[in-house]
A and B are shown apart, each in its own frame.
Chain A
Amino acid sequence: MNAPVTSPIIRVACRSVARLIQVFAIYVIFHGHYSPGGGFQGGALLAAAVILIRIAEGRVGSQREFPSGGALLLGSLGVLIFAGVGFIDLLAGGNFLQYEFTPLPEMTAAKAHYWSILIIEIGVGLAVMAVLVGIFDVLMEKPADD
């Protein structure tokens, strides 16, 4: 995993492919309103991009891309975004996850639903990405005995 020297061809290729995967992941998350896609799928693609860079550059070299310690934090943030929308609706006078009550400026009820769905999809995407990268990191850790 921690090979000190990687071929520059592999590094450049994996970096550029990873950027393409990330753009496509964002497209999948944001276009989930109109086509197959959504938070789970987009989050898996985001994780695939990070894991590709982990494989190409090794664990140490790819810490700038996504620090290993950040997985749990980002995953909690994703779940918190989702649950937070629910609790904000609750505080605004509705039921849990009743999106009409999401306090967005100048929104009809349907538009509030539209944007709330987008927000929770982003939360789902963050959680899925963080969990997948975290599991990969923990499986690829160096054995303790070396």
Chain B
Amino acid sequence: MKVLQFILLAGFLGVMVFASLRLPPVGDATSPMNRDVSPAGTPVAGSHYIRNAYPDAHTDNIVTVVLADYRGFDTLGETIVVFAAGVACILILRRSKA
């Protein structure tokens, strides 16, 4: 069993190393993810955020604008998930006062 685990992990490592060797260099403007138009011919969402983040919200950090503004509903869900996890932990783990 241990040997099988080791072989599986080694194979997984090999796949990861092989995949990472073919990644485009960081900041390569011609790589598919950095182009204005995706390989399928549709506009990429990222360029919309980069163009409009500052005019829309006067906030320099594009990540903050995407997190709290364009995807504010998603962040509300995240906050509620964190809160629900806390409520569950407190209700399950606390000693009953009785």
Contacts and interface: CB of A to CB of B under 8 A. Distances in A.
Interface of A: 32-36, 38-40, 71-72, 75-76, 78-79, 82-83, 86, 96-97, 99, 109-111, 113-114, 116-117, 120-121, 123-124, 127-128, 130-132, 134-135, 138-139, 141-144
Which size bracket describes the interface of B in this complex?
Answer: 20 to 34
Contacts of A71: 86, 90
| Most interface-central of B65, B82, B87 (chain A CB within 10 A) | B82
Contacts of A120: 68, 72, 75-76
Given A39-B79, A79-B79, A117-B59, 6 more contacts: A110-B56, A120-B68, A130-B86, A131-B83, A135-B89, A142-B95
Contacts, number: 106
A127 B64 contact: no
Interface string B3-34: 00000000000000000000000000000000
B59 A113 contact: yes
B57 interface: yes
A121 B61 contact: no
Interface string B38-80: 0000000000000000011111110111011100110110111
B90 A128 contact: no
A137 B33 CA distance: 45
Given A120-B75, A144-B95, A36 B63 contact: yes
Contacts of A128: 79, 82
B61 A32 contact: yes
A134 B57 contact: no
A35 to B, nearest CB: 7
A96 B79 contact: no
B85 interface: yes
B41 to A, nearest CB: 30
B1 interface: no
A127 B61 contact: no
B2 to A, nearest CB: 33
Nearest to B85: A131
A96 B59 CA distance: 21
Nearest to B76: A82
